[in-house]
Chains A and B, each alone.
Chain A
Amino acid sequence: MDSATSRASAPLGASADNGLKIVIVGGFGVGKTTMVRSVSEIRPLNTEETMTQAGAAVDDLTGVHAKTTTTVAFDFGRITLDARNVLYLFGAPGQERFWFLWDRLFQGTLGAVVLVDTRRIDDSWYAIDRLERHGTPFVVALNDFGGPDFAPAQIREALDLDPHVPLLRCDARSRESAKEVLITLVEHVYARYAAGAADPARPTQELV
């Protein structure tokens, strides 16, 4: 294998020393890979992690043969922010078995984007519930597939969304739109920590 020809992109600068993570979660076909591609400087790559249903990743290779083994694939892209900071974006499935991986792979993540297709709102409920339990900051981005145009209040109600969680529309195919989603997330994380995570007086963000 000639690694020079299979490289996805130009390498990082020699001074890069701080990797950061943002995870984009959502159901199949909601636009996760599309959003990663829109902003990534490399074409999206994919990889996988193998784990047992008990939640432990299978590093003990005897476990590879066990029937309880399951594999979760995810894709990712990369954004060089400056000479030292590199942001990795992960597109990950929202379904139940994926969450076994969360602590192992995505602990220390800056935050998450929950991508929602308004034609299949209920697909997102589980992911939102899990992120809230984990205490991971997140925003909800409605990817526009031409589905029903619900009012923000209806969507918040359907998702049982905490009033301070930002809700915005996006087009995952658009670089500008994907950028805006990421900026909204990081501003939300910033505001959350600036205000102190326990401050109940945080304003509702209504961006739809």
Chain B
Amino acid sequence: MNGAGGRPGRDDAPDRLYTLTGGRSRAGADSPFDLVTLVVAECDPVPGMQSEHAAILRMTERPTAVVEIAAELRLPVGITKILLTDLLDAGRVSARHPRQEALPDPEILEQVLVGLRNL
């Protein structure tokens, strides 16, 4: 479903994207989500829930990165972050943000090297 047939979001009418997010705007810099923030569902989908919200809750039973959610929903990353913010504000998901921000932590770099060498 994520094959060459269509890029997520590209074929969607802007109206669909508008409907999904209720037309809200949110400055990109304000979003707490990184591309690789791992999202974890804190509850099951409930009847009547917006279908994208329900889909996110199903796919995040185990930790799932924002970018994987966007690819699977076939939505642009920015729109996906708005949906995730709704769920986070409602306490329906939790977010595990990347630990390292500006400078890499040598301890983590060592862990990365060990992991890569063991591949």
**Which residues of A line the B interface, CB within 8 A?**
1, 3, 6-8, 11-14, 16-21, 39, 45-50, 56-62, 64-65, 71, 73, 76, 78-82, 85-88, 90, 104-106, 108, 110, 175, 179, 182-183, 186-187, 189-190, 193-194
19 A-B residue pairs with CB within 8 Å? A3-B55, A8-B72, A11-B61, A13-B63, A16-B63, A21-B36, A45-B71, A46-B71, A47-B67, A47-B76, A48-B10, A57-B28, A57-B77, A62-B23, A62-B25, A82-B111, A88-B35, A183-B117, A190-B104
**Which residues of B line the A interface, CB within 8 A?**
1-2, 7-10, 14, 17-18, 21, 23-29, 31, 34-38, 55, 58-59, 61-65, 67-68, 70-72, 74, 76-79, 81-82, 96, 98-104, 106, 108-117, 119
* Contact between A45 and B104, CB atoms less than 8 A apart: no
* Contact between A179 and B119, CB atoms less than 8 A apart: yes
Which residue of chain A has the shortest Cβ distance to B8 in the bound complex? A47
**Chain B residues with CB under 8 A of A189:** 104, 109
Which residue of chain A has the shortest Cβ distance to B29 in the bound complex? A104
* Contact between B10 and A85, CB atoms less than 8 A apart: no
